[in-house]
Chains A and B, each alone.
Chain A
Amino acid sequence: MAITVQIEFIAKTTVRVLAYIYNDAGTLVNPSPSIKVTIYDPDGEAQVTSATMSLVDADIAGIYEYYYKTTTSSTKGWWTGEVVTIDGADPDDITSIGTFSFRIK
């Protein structure tokens, strides 16, 4: 089933954050050792801090998800977030960042 991209949500719904991770060749890959997500409310306060994302399907590399359940008290407005991957071993590890945003009405 196709995934419908949605950026506006009514409070109390659950926001599904989907991250697609590609290497230089455009192939979906699993970053190692970590992939984390952080979500900020409209006031810039982190409501989720460096939460580990899960593979959507263990047999498919490179697609991760995280569910964030909003409440009626969630601040209305534009929320922002970032997905941070770390790949490689110290000191040769490389950090990559992808950002996203959504609106709660």
Chain B
Amino acid sequence: MADIDVGATASDRGENFLYGYTIIVLDNPANATGKINHIEIFAHLDMTGVVVGSFYLVSGVTYKCRGSASIPNVTGGSKTTLTAPTDFTAFDIEVGDYIGCYFTFGNMERDAAGYAGLYYASGKHIDPDDSTTYTLSEGHTISLYGEGAAVAAYERSAAIAVGTVVSAVRGAWGRTRTSSTIVGIVATTKRLYLSFVRTASVLVGILVTAVAIEAVQRAIVYIGVYVRARRNITKTFASSVIVGVVVTVTRLVAYIVTATTTVGVVATTVIRQWGRVRTATVLVGAKVTATRKIAAARASSVLLGISTTATRKLAAIRKATVKVGVVVSALIRIVGRVLKIVVITSQYRQINPITAMYRKIRSFTIGGH
């Protein structure tokens, strides 16, 4: 099964679409990022000068071509299947993109109702980075379908002084690194598979990360809010949060280390299954840890503030130092044991040392005669 599928089934349909237009199929947008290497097309009459491409929305009804490839002439009356690199050069597509085509002569199979619709524009707008405004044909579709292979995504932003960084990766696996964001928002969202995210420095702003399986390392968040939400396996390392709030919510297996929080709140919630949480130092502020099921939590130093730990089921919790503040630990649902009790009674005899000494002397004296 292909990693990517996009477009509508290439089948014999009731209507047809004439040449000379760039057409975008709104049915079945791409489910992952990668390259289209397989195309199926059903022509009503022979098609020539055919180009197939991927498109994404810019704004309103303006779409831009991301990638495209010319394909051989298509024979009408049956489905034609084309494969890269033999028949065409594979082209880029990203999750959410649509497939489209242009042809200089012929027409292709079309249905006029019951589908997501078509966008069309007169002329050829299918070279990469071509963009124009399109007209909608509601409910229409054409027989154009593509498949492809997902590829790894690698993103790196070296420095963003002011602004917003948003990364969204879906499918396959991704590796994202943002080395410096001075002011603004960094939001990263990923679904499926593995990902590795590292944000070295966020001076002021908000850092939000939501990912499935991943390993996250963050070196410094100076001021702001730092929120992470994850599912499945997670290993998180935040070495320094100077001022602000750190919130981590994780399901299933988690390993979290927060080395230093100078001022602010560190809240860690590990929900379901087991988690291992270590907070080495919280200088000022509050630290809250809540864990269900098995947990090993260690807070070695809380200098000033409140340290609260609530755990259900099994837990091993150690707090080495709390200099000023309040420490609350609650272990909930510790399952009791059925115990066997054997009770005996005996007489308590209190020994009087003077009486005991008298008895010994008397015994010695009698024994001497």
Contacts and interface: CB of A to CB of B under 8 A. Distances in A.
A18 B344 contact: yes
Given A89-B334, A91-B333, A29 B339 contact: yes
Contacts of A85: 339, 341
Interface residues of A, number: 38
A15 to B, nearest CB: 5
Given A89-B332, A91-B333, A18 B346 contact: yes
Contacts of B346: 3-6, 15-16, 18
Contacts of A31: 337, 339
Interface in B300-345: 331-345
B59 interface: no
A16 B344 CA distance: 8
Contact of B339 (A4, A6, A22): A22
A91 B345 CA distance: 33
A89 B342 CA distance: 23
A96 B340 CA distance: 7
Interface string A4-38: 11110100011111111111100001010000000
B348 A88 contact: no
A36 to B, nearest CB: 11
B342 A98 contact: yes
Contact of B345 (A86, A89, A102): A102
A19 B342 contact: yes
B86 interface: no
B352 interface: no
B355 interface: no
Contacts of A5: 344-346
Q: Is chain B's interface secondary structure helix, strand, loop, or mixed overall?
A: strand
Interface in B348-366: 348, 350
A21 B333 contact: no
Given A87-B337, A96-B339, A14 B345 contact: no
Contacts, number: 100
Interface residues of B, number: 19
A81 B335 CA distance: 27
User: Is the contact region of chain A dominated by helix, strand, or loop, or is it mixed?
Assistant: strand
A15 B345 contact: yes
A93 interface: yes
B341 A83 contact: yes
B228 to A, nearest CB: 30
Given A15-B345, A100-B343, A100-B345, A24 B331 contact: no
A11 B294 CA distance: 53
Which of B331, B337, B345, B347: most chain A CB closer than 10 A?
Answer: B345
A72 to B, nearest CB: 16
Interface string A71-88: 000000000010101111
A16 to B, nearest CB: 4
Contact of A83 (B335, B337, B343, B348): B343
A59 interface: no
Contacts of A88: 334-337
B337 to A, nearest CB: 5
B328 to A, nearest CB: 15
B348 A16 contact: yes
A97 B14 CA distance: 83
A68 to B, nearest CB: 9
A5 B341 CA distance: 16
11 contacts: A16-B348, A19-B341, A20-B343, A22-B339, A22-B341, A24-B338, A85-B341, A88-B334, A89-B331, A89-B334, A96-B339
Interface of B: 331-348, 350
* 8 tightest Cβ-Cβ pairs between the two chains A and B: A88-B336, A98-B341, A94-B336, A100-B343, A14-B348, A87-B336, A96-B339, A89-B334
Given A4-B346, A13-B347, A19-B342, 7 more contacts: A6-B345, A15-B348, A17-B344, A20-B343, A89-B332, A89-B336, A96-B340
